[in-house]
Structure formats: structure tokens, C-alpha cells
Amino acid sequence: MAFELTDSNFKEKVLDTEGVAVVDFWAEWCGPCRMIGPIIEEMAKDYDGKALIAKVDVDSNPEISLKYGVRSIPTVLYLKNGEIVDKQVGATSKQVLSGKLDAILS
């Protein structure tokens, strides 16, 4: 299952941790977010031990959403050692999301 990030644990789990994190900014009421939700969950299983796959509910965590300038959802950020290295805005396929992550991990 994708890790649930919040304004209070984002720094510890993503910024202060070495490695790759994929963070899905989403909201319950967002149709496209619900479309990629199952893909994010699949990726959490597929990349277990290789990357942190996580979700941020933008309604419950406005600080982190504002910090990263998330204006449209879903927005998926790819971070390596706390730095943004790639980004996907809008719903897309698992192939696209996994392809970006594979490129970062290789």
C-alpha cells in the first residue's frame, strides 16, 4: 500500500531520506486522481524496497502542496535524495509512471 505522507512527516520520510520517492498529490473528489490511485498502489507493491511510493491528500496537507506549487491534481513528483528530478501532471498510464521511475532508478 502507498505510504500516506502528511505535512508533518514529509520532511522526515522524503527530504531527509536518501533514495527515490514517488509522491502522488491527490484529493478524494478528483476523478483523474481516482483513475491513477490503483496504479500508485500497484507501484507501491512493484517497487517495494526500491523506492518509496507515497500519497499526499492535498485537502488535508495544504502546506506541502503549497511548498511544491501543486496547482493541478493529480501531480506526481519524483524525488531523489530530496530533490525533484521529474514530474507528471494529470492522469496517465502505469507505463508512463513506471517508465519515469525506472529511468531514475537505473
Using one digit for the tens of pLDDT, what is the confidence trace for 2-56? Answer: 999 999 999 999 999 899 999 999 999 999 999 999 999 999 999 999 999 999 9
The answer to whether residue 50 is catalytic is no
Residue the block writes with cell 493529480: 74
CATH topology of domain 3-105: Glutaredoxin (3.40.30)
* Predicted pLDDT at 36: 96
Contact between residue 36 and residue 95 where contact means Cβ atoms under 8 Å apart:
no
pLDDT in tens, 45-82: 999 999 999 999 999 999 999 999 999 999 999 999 99
The answer to whether residue 103 is catalytic is no
* Predicted pLDDT at 85: 97
CA nearest 48: which of 87, 22, 79?
A: 22
Catalytic, out of 2, 5, 33, 77: 33
Catalytic, out of 30, 40, 58, 101: 30
